[in-house]
Amino acid sequence: MSKVLVSDPIDQAGIDILSQVATVDVNTGLKPAELIEIIPQYDALMIRSGTRVTQEIIEAGTQLKIIGRAGVGVDNVDVPAATRRGIVVVNSPEGNTIAAAEHALAMMLSLSRHIPDANASVKRGEWDRKTFVGAEVYKKTLGVVGLGKIGSHVAAVAKAMGMKLLAYDPFISTERAEQIGCQLVDLDLLMQQSDYITLHIPKTPETTHIINATTLAKMKPTARIINCARGGIIDEVALAAAIKEGKIAGAALDVFESEPLGESELRAIGKDIILTPHLGASTTEAQVNVAIDVAEQIRDVLLGLPARSAVNIPGLGPDVLEELKPYMELAETLGKLVGQLAGGRVELLTVRLQGELATNKSQPLVIASLKGLLYQALRERVNYVNANIEAKERGIRVIETRDASARDYAGSLRLEATGTLGTHSVTGALLGDKEIHLTDVDGFPINVPPSKYMLFTLHRDMPGIIGKLGSLLGSFNVNIASMQVGRKIVRGDAVMALSIDDPLPDGILAEITKVPGIRDAYTVTL
Ligand SMILES: NC(=O)c1ccc[n+]([C@@H]2O[C@H](COP(=O)([O-])OP(=O)(O)OC[C@H]3O[C@@H](n4cnc5c(N)ncnc54)[C@H](O)[C@@H]3O)[C@@H](O)[C@H]2O)c1
Ligand SMILES: O=C(O)[C@H](O)COP(=O)(O)O
């Protein structure tokens, strides 16, 4: 049975799902050295933001197949290191969207009405109604930095509260912003014109300290800033100085450059700052959502199924996966076949999407083709995660082409591999109930479902050749399950595709090519 380590607190709903397929150990608060020591025994690791999954931990996790982040941000995982090792990294892109958005809105209202400090003063026995006079958000301008899932929800609610909305997001179209009721502006204008600024961007090299002394200086002295996205997007030292010097009115932070927050000047600022301990996703509902979402993906990957929200399998979102899954199996089978026909080192793989398939996304099919192609060399070590990297490291160039006019089948896929021993091509389609059929080998039309063990010959189409091959295979005790010949002209060159029950015994290929008329023979395992 597989073993899963859960190293941050997650909802029991997730543990229950994992327990269907694995032994689950919940061991939270581990130090990095402790995690490195125990990780070799685990097939999967489930985390939240509390565990830092470094390259060292990934390399120690020799059995790891998947790292599941029960939440959105994967900046605490060395994703490139996981990708190199073929480990799938999944998250829950939407499970805590509402929770995080509502926390940002709660922060905005708390800041504007001084709720945390007013509450604390009443609990101290005071009744101070002067100090805590607030401001309305109605008709004020909210600047949303990052108009993704959380930013959009914040914007929609803020609009309903009568706020005017500005947004900065270089990756969002003006039309999309307008749909949400936001005016798309550059960051400078947003900083200058907003009464409240809320950050909903990932932490990347570009966004680290995007809010710094210079950008803060552009804000109105009455404006407030909220960060429920990631620590490090705001320069905390510059922020503390801006509030203390009265350059801005206040801030609310849920996330910090270093968590848990240690010694910090931020703590010393009074009612103009609100600090929460990374609570954005901490609602009962969100925790159930993310735990189920990620546990289901871990369960699926441990059962050999694909994950729906893998962050390191490009182009493989849930919608694409649903539609393309049968074609990905086709691509992988064709990759295995063409790789074995090509024999030596493959230098170029051409992937051609034909007919209806030509309108589809090609990236997942290219990945699946490469996975099949590299299977001979890497066996189980190649997967959808690392197939691209492994191909690049082996110097395999990939060309994608499309031919929407191909009409032989509704949609078909053709792979051509050129390597040190020559060029071979195979084409396949899904027929009937999405059953894979090989429809062409090296330009010769055939129509056979692939089987685990197959033999292909390139021969001259002449009387007696099938009988001779059949007798030869019989003399080696090889049982033929099916046989089909593909030819372009009568008595010209032809291809024979045989499905056989067992692998061919050693030495038989050389005997096959001695049969008069047979030029080449290839044995493949699919
Ligand atoms: N505090 C919490 O507990 C909590 C909870 C959930 C999510 N988060 C964090 O909130 C953030 C947003 O999450 P989301 O689900 O909305 O993500 P998302 O991917 O849906 O949206 C992010 C948006 O940021 C934009 N963006 C990227 N780089 C940018 C840049 N340089 N400048 C401006 N915009 C840029 C993207 O175009 C995208 O629209 C993430 O950092 C996530 O980790 C925090
Ligand atoms: O990126 C996220 O999903 C949030 O930061 C939530 O983090 P958490 O799971 O540690 O609460």
DSSP 160-222: HTT-EEEEE-TTS-HHHHHHTT-EE--HHHHHHH-SEEEE-----TTTTTSB-HHHHTTS-TT
Planar angle of CA 215, 220, 223, nearest 5 degrees: 95
* Residue 424: active-site member: no
pLDDT of 190 reads 98
pLDDT of 173 reads 86
Report the pocket of ligand 2 as residue ranges, CB < 6 Å. 48-50, 70-73, 96, 278, 280-282
Rounded Cα–Cα distance for residues 453 and 329 (Å): 17
Ligand 1 centroid – CA 47 distance (Å): 19
Atom 5 of ligand 2 has which residue's CA nearest to it? 73
Rounded Cα–Cα distance for residues 20 and 296 (Å): 10
- Do residues 343 and 419 make contact, with C-beta atoms less than 8 angstroms apart? yes
78 touches ligand 1 (CB under 6 Å): no
- Do residues 399 and 418 make contact, with C-beta atoms less than 8 angstroms apart? no
**Strand-by-strand arrangement of the 493-500 sheet:** 480-487, 493-500, 453-460, 518-525
pLDDT of 210 reads 97
Instruction: Considering every ligand atom shown, identify the ligand nearest to the alpha carbon of residue 289 and give its number.
Output: 2
pLDDT tens digit string along 231-243?
999 999 999 999 9
Six-digit token pair at 114? 């001084």
Catalytic residue, chosen from 278, 299, 308, 437, is 278
Compute how many other C-beta atoms are within 10 angstroms of the C-beta atom of residue 402. Answer: 16
Which pTM does this prediction carry? 0.79
Q: Would you place residue 308 in the very low, low, confident or very high pLDDT band (cuts 50, 70, 90)? A: confident
Planar angle of CA 487, 436, 296, nearest 5 degrees: 160
Atom 11 of ligand 2 has which residue's CA nearest to it? 281
pLDDT tens digit string along 100-144?
999 999 999 999 999 999 999 999 999 999 999 999 999 999 999
